[in-house]
Amino acid sequence: MLRLEGIDVHYGATQVLWSVDMRVAEGEIVAIMGPNGSGKSTVLKAAMGLKAPSGGRVLLDGREMQDASATERPRHGMAIVLERRRLFPRMSVHENIVLGAYARPARETKGSLEWVLGLLPDLREHLDATAGKLSGGQQQMVAIARGLMARPRVLLMDEPFLGLSPAMVKTVSAIMRTINGEGVAILFNEQDAKLSFALSHRGYLLESGRVILSGSGQEMLDHPEVKRVYLGVREEAAR
Amino acid sequence: MTEILGRRPALSFLICVGLFLLTLVLPLNDYVLHILTLSLIFAIFASGWNLTLGILGLKTLGHHAFFAIGAYLSAIAAFYGGVSPWLTIWVGAVLAALAGLLIGLPILRIRSMPHVAIVTLAFAEIVRLIFSNLKDITRGELGFWGIPPFDPVSFGETTIRFGLGNAWGSFILVGLFFFAVQGGLLLLLRSRPGLTFAAIRDSEAAAESLGINFGAWKLAAFALSAGIVGLSGAIYAHYVMILTPTSVAGPEMLITLLAIIIVGGAGRFFGPLYGALLLTGSLELLREFGDYRMLLYGALVIGFVFVAPQGIAGLKFDRLRRRRGHGTNESSSSA
């Protein structure tokens, strides 16, 4: 479905991604895990067209997306939930969510809204509230709802658990599974290895802008390097 | 959009129309009608500028240039071409919108708001100097006088005349223009473009991620804003019937209109009307203080900025919000 092939990204003279290859198949949840500054967010931005790659290509259903700008990609079935939600804080929740359907024909908005509120029913009671006044968890749900309004086939999520309480992390994880159950593929990034790979069908480990490991969620969790560096498990203890 | 439009914008709009109609039956003298007419012209100007300055969040300081372009080009077409002001005002508005497109293309690429402010300010000064130096056509600072007023309109036995000296007719005409512009803007802001403008103001990055081409929207809004301001300039020209480059494109015009927007409430739909009525009216009321007039006017503006930093319309909105307990879970910062 979504393929990233040999993606290089530069910020000025500094290269931050080095020939990154990734793929997301239909119906998959795929995690990108890595430490701070490893380039996880840049991968998502490059996939969405928000940061132009200096090399490589992005393909959606085999079709090259280089010529499609960031503003055109939602029309092709891609949507992104940005890091730290990036809601429109002075607008109502309803207005925020409806704006997510910007790339879709206006006649679809009502149906999409009902579908989204069916997936996230807790939002119904907050529709008239000012988005900036909601709690972090509620804001994350609004951001997800906004992303879903584009009716994406693949949803990119940049640090969806950032700043959330453990209870809210569970809720958002459950929402991601529900969305995935509706046939929406998800590519997300996260620093917590256990959370990332337990939730995903497949995962990638990114370090210093390079993919150094990939596999199924369970394979990633069982990998000695992941265990040692990211889960804090000593090899002897693991045995 | 509640923050921009208020709770019941259509009802507020109808109340304003009702108050306008009430004014028509009150025994107001020509001087009061003149002040109200000027207030409404400045309210149209401020509404147009507010679209970019307040609602879209673009810190442009050169909109008085579009006022001058609309005023002078409409006046020149009517004076030298003998064309009816009923037509020339649209020429002025369209040319001001085109000027907005031309200046908008480079300035919307500038990310730094202080630089946008300086470039647009410089543009206004260039426009002022051009009209000042085209002495053969505009007579420069000596004043372009003899600008024809709007052609009279007859209804059976009754003929309504316009221009300075015909206060009642001019007030009705400018009122109709004001409500037409406000009505159009209200429809625009209540529909998808209004939401899009507010989204761009809040976060260009988020807007782009949703598929909003914010550059094209900003340019379109800038041109529309310039066109509305140009229309107000053209109406002004055929009302006062004399123009000087400094009176329409000078710093005093910039400061007056900026004060109207700030005091009324930048980014609030009804802000320009409140600001225009208060400040245009108070400028006239302060005339009896002679040399101290502008000093007191300045103190009034500064006082308002301290008491109501969100402007008169913002004050009203905050009060409504407190009363209704708007927003939920304000106490919780994270889940």
Confidence of residue A235 (pLDDT cuts 50, 70, 90): low
Q: CB–CB of B195/A96 below 8 Å?
A: no
Between the CA of residue A138 and those of A5, A116, A122, A158, what are the distances in Å? 35, 14, 9, 16
**Mean residue pLDDT across chain A:** 90
Cβ neighbour number for residue B110 with a 10 Å cutoff = 14
| B312 min Cα distance to partner chain A (Å) | 18
Q: Would an 8 Å CB–CB cutoff place A135 in contact with chain B?
A: yes
Coil vs helix vs strand at A14: strand
pLDDT for B314 equals 80
Coil vs helix vs strand at A157: strand
Question: Please, which residues 33-52 of chain A have a Cβ atom closer than 8 Å to chain B?
Answer: 48, 50
**Mean residue pLDDT across chain B:** 89
Share of chain A above pLDDT 70, in %: 97
Contact B3 A90 (CB under 8 A): yes
pLDDT for B317 equals 62
A80-96 burial code (b ≥16 CB/10 A, e <16): bbbbebbbbebbbbbbb
**Closest CA in chain A for residue B332:** A135
Residue A214: is it exposed, middle or buried by C-beta count within 10 angstroms (0-12/13-18/19+)?
Answer: middle
Q: Would an 8 Å CB–CB cutoff place A75 in contact with chain B?
A: yes
Q: Is the confidence at residue B208, as pLDDT, over 70? A: yes
Torsion sign across C-alpha atoms B183, B186, B190, B194: positive
Per residue in B59-70, pLDDT tens? 899 999 999 999
| Mutation target vs B (from A71, A73, A141, A148; most B CBs, 10 A cutoff) | A71
**Cα–Cα distance measured from residue A54 to residue A39, given in angstroms and rounded to the nearest whole number:** 14
Contact A88 B206 (CB under 8 A): yes
Confidence of residue B79 (pLDDT cuts 50, 70, 90): very high
Mean local confidence (pLDDT), B110-134: 92
B164 membership: H or E segment, kind and range = none
The shortest CB-CB distance from B202 to any of A89, A106, A126 is to A89
Per residue in B267-314, pLDDT tens? 888 889 999 999 998 888 888 898 888 889 889 889 988 888 888 888
pLDDT for B3 equals 72
Confidence of residue B327 (pLDDT cuts 50, 70, 90): very low
Confidence of residue B224 (pLDDT cuts 50, 70, 90): very high
| A234 min Cα distance to partner chain B (Å) | 33
Q: Is the confidence at residue B192, as pLDDT, over 50? A: yes
Q: Would an 8 Å CB–CB cutoff place B322 in contact with chain A?
A: no
Confidence of residue B329 (pLDDT cuts 50, 70, 90): very low
**Cα–Cα distance measured from residue B264 to residue B294, given in angstroms and rounded to the nearest whole number:** 19
Contact A82 B1 (CB under 8 A): no
pLDDT for B319 equals 63
| A14 min Cα distance to partner chain B (Å) | 22
The separation between CA B80 and the C-alpha centre of its own chain, rounded to angstroms, equals: 27
Q: Which two tokens stand for residue A77?
A: 């079935």
pLDDT for B144 equals 95
Residues in chain B closer than 8 A to A175 (CB atoms): none
Mean local confidence (pLDDT), B27-51: 94
The distance between the two most distant Cα atoms of chain A, rounded to a whole number of Å, is 61
**Cα–Cα distance measured from residue B299 to residue B320, given in angstroms and rounded to the nearest whole number:** 28
pLDDT for B308 equals 86
Alpha helices, DSSP H only, in B59-166?
Answer: 63-81, 85-107, 113-133, 135-138
Residues in chain B closer than 8 A to A73 (CB atoms): 211
Rg (CA), chain B: 20
Per residue in A163-208, pLDDT tens? 888 888 888 899 899 999 988 999 999 988 888 899 999 999 999 9
**Cα–Cα distance measured from residue A153 to residue A173, given in angstroms and rounded to the nearest whole number:** 18
pLDDT for B239 equals 96
Q: Is the confidence at residue B335, as pLDDT, over 50? A: no
Cβ neighbour number for residue B48 with a 10 Å cutoff = 31
The distance between the two most distant Cα atoms of chain B, rounded to a whole number of Å, is 72
Contact A150 B211 (CB under 8 A): yes
Q: Is the confidence at residue B12, as pLDDT, over 90? A: no
Q: Please state whether beta strands B153-155 and B158-160 pair in parallel, antiparallel, or not at all (unpaired).
A: antiparallel
Q: Would an 8 Å CB–CB cutoff place B29 in contact with chain A?
A: no
The shortest CB-CB distance from B1 to any of A89, A91, A135 is to A91
Q: Would an 8 Å CB–CB cutoff place A154 in contact with chain B?
A: no
| Mutation target vs B (from A97, A128, A130, A172; most B CBs, 10 A cutoff) | A130
Q: Is the confidence at residue B8, as pLDDT, over 90? A: no
**Cα–Cα distance measured from residue B10 to residue B211, given in angstroms and rounded to the nearest whole number:** 30
Contact A91 B192 (CB under 8 A): no
Residues in chain A closer than 8 A to B269 (CB atoms): none
The shortest CB-CB distance from B205 to any of A86, A106, A126 is to A86
Residues in chain A closer than 8 A to B208 (CB atoms): 50, 70-71
Mean local confidence (pLDDT), A86-111: 91
**Cα–Cα distance measured from residue B221 to residue A30, given in angstroms and rounded to the nearest whole number:** 40
Confidence of residue B49 (pLDDT cuts 50, 70, 90): very high
pLDDT for B333 equals 36
Mean local confidence (pLDDT), B118-136: 95
B259 membership: H or E segment, kind and range = helix B251-264
| Mutation target vs A (from B1, B7, B210; most A CBs, 10 A cutoff) | B210
Q: Is the confidence at residue B108, as pLDDT, over 90? A: no
**Which residues are within 8 A (CB) of B104 and not within 5 positions of it... i.e. 6 or more apart?**
B218, B219, B222, B223, B226
**Cα–Cα distance measured from residue B194 to residue B185, given in angstroms and rounded to the nearest whole number:** 9
Q: Is the confidence at residue A234, as pLDDT, over 70? A: no
Mean local confidence (pLDDT), A147-174: 90
The separation between CA B204 and the C-alpha centre of its own chain, rounded to angstroms, equals: 25
Alpha helices, DSSP H only, in chain A?
Answer: 40-48, 93-99, 109-119, 136-148, 166-181, 193-199, 217-222, 224-225, 235-238
- ∠ at Cα A82 (A80, A87), nearest 5°? 110
pLDDT for B114 equals 87
Q: Please state whether beta strands A202-207 and A29-33 pair in parallel, antiparallel, or not at all (unpaired).
A: parallel
Residues in chain B closer than 8 A to A168 (CB atoms): 334-335
Residues in chain A closer than 8 A to B1 (CB atoms): 91-92, 95
Between the CA of residue A225 and those of A19, A203, A219, what are the distances in Å? 22, 14, 11
Contact B334 A74 (CB under 8 A): no
Q: By C-alpha distance, which of B225, B227, B222, B201 is closest to B212?
A: B201
**Cα–Cα distance measured from residue B127 to residue B223, given in angstroms and rounded to the nearest whole number:** 17
Q: Would an 8 Å CB–CB cutoff place B188 in contact with chain A?
A: no
